[in-house]
């Protein structure tokens, strides 16, 4: 049975010691979505949201968030990320914006949390920029899709 790595034998929180682990190439991909009204999607597409270009600001917010994950999530290690990409795609049939983040580094621990944080903050940014016209938006389906590197190797959903 697997044990929680961030809890010691007394049940207290601890940061995992990765000092003895070799640095390897690490990659993670996460996805999520923001569901909204058709009109909100149309406003985003036509760049008519008063706060600016929703996709570019959400992309930047996601990249910045990935870089600061260790400041947001307790017990996450600070990582020297080598690449962060955030892609946003419109799905008109389902009135949603799909978000995908890919994060890479060479390090002693994985980048799953950085990819998930990038997607989450990009989604929150879309909500923030569009809430004046659509408070009923739903942030959904945020999940890890795949990871590579480290002792556990490759994992795909």
How many domains, the chain? 1
Residue 128 annotated among the catalytic residues of the structure: yes
* Angle, vertex CA 112, rays to CA 7 and CA 140, nearest 5: 105
| Span 102-129, average pLDDT | 97
Higher pLDDT, 2 or 100: 100
Task: Judge whether 16 lies within some domain.
Answer: no
For residue 77, the domain's CATH number is 3.30.70.640
Q: Which of 87, 98, 128, 141 is catalytic?
A: 128
Average pLDDT over residues 98-116: 96
- The pLDDT of residue 104 is 98
Q: Is residue 155 part of a domain?
A: no
Note whether residue 128 is domain-resident: yes
- pLDDT tens profile 45-100: 999 999 999 999 999 999 999 999 999 999 899 999 999 999 999 999 999 999 99
Q: Are 157 and 143 in contact (CB under 8 A)?
A: yes
Nearest to 106 by CA among 133, 82, 72: 82
What is residue 67's predicted lDDT score, i.e. its pLDDT? 97
Q: Count of alpha carbons within 13 Å of 94, Cβ hemisphere only? A: 11
Task: Kindly report the pTM of this predicted structure.
Answer: 0.92
Tell me the per-residue pLDDT of 123-153, one tens digit each, with 9 for 90 and over: 999 999 999 999 999 999 999 999 999 888 8
Backbone angle region of 150, left / alpha / beta, with phi > 0 → left and psi within -120 to 50 → alpha: left
- Alpha carbon distances (Å) from 41 to 20, 92, 156: 48, 8, 30
Q: Give per-residue pLDDT as tens, 25-38.
A: 999 999 999 999 99
Residues 6+ apart with CB under 8 A from 20: none
Query: How confident is the model over 72-82, as pLDDT tens digits?
Result: 999 899 999 99
Q: Alpha carbon of 17 to those of 39, 73, 77: distances in Å? A: 49, 16, 9
Pairing of strands 24-35, 96-107: antiparallel
Q: Is residue 19 part of a domain?
A: no
Question: Is residue 65 included in any domain, yes or no?
Answer: yes
In a domain, 8, yes or no: no
Residue 5: Cβ within 10 Å count: 11
Residues 6+ apart with CB under 8 A from 22: 108
Q: Which pLDDT band, with edges at 50, 70 and 90, does 15 fall under?
A: confident
Residues of the domain holding 103: 24-149
């Amino acid at each position: 049975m697997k044990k929680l790595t961030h809890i010691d034998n007394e049940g207290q929180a601890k940061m995992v010691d990765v000092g003895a682990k070799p640095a390897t190439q690490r990659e993670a991909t996460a996805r999520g979505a923001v569901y909204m009204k058709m009109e909100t999607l149309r406003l985003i597409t036509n760049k008519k949201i008063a706060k600016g270009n929703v996709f570019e600001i959400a992309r930047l917010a996601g990249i910045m968030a990935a870089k600061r994950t260790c400041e947001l999530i307790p017990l996450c290690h600070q990582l020297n990320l080598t690449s962060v990409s955030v892609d946003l795609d419109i799905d008109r049939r389902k009135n949603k914006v799909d978000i995908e983040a890919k994060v890479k580094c060479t390090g002693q621990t994985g980048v799953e949390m950085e990819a998930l944080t990038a997607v989450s903050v990009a989604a929150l940014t879309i909500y923030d920029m569009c809430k004046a016209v659509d408070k009923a938006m739903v942030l959904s389906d945020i999940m890890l899709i795949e990871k590579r590197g480290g002792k556990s190797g490759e994992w795909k959903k």
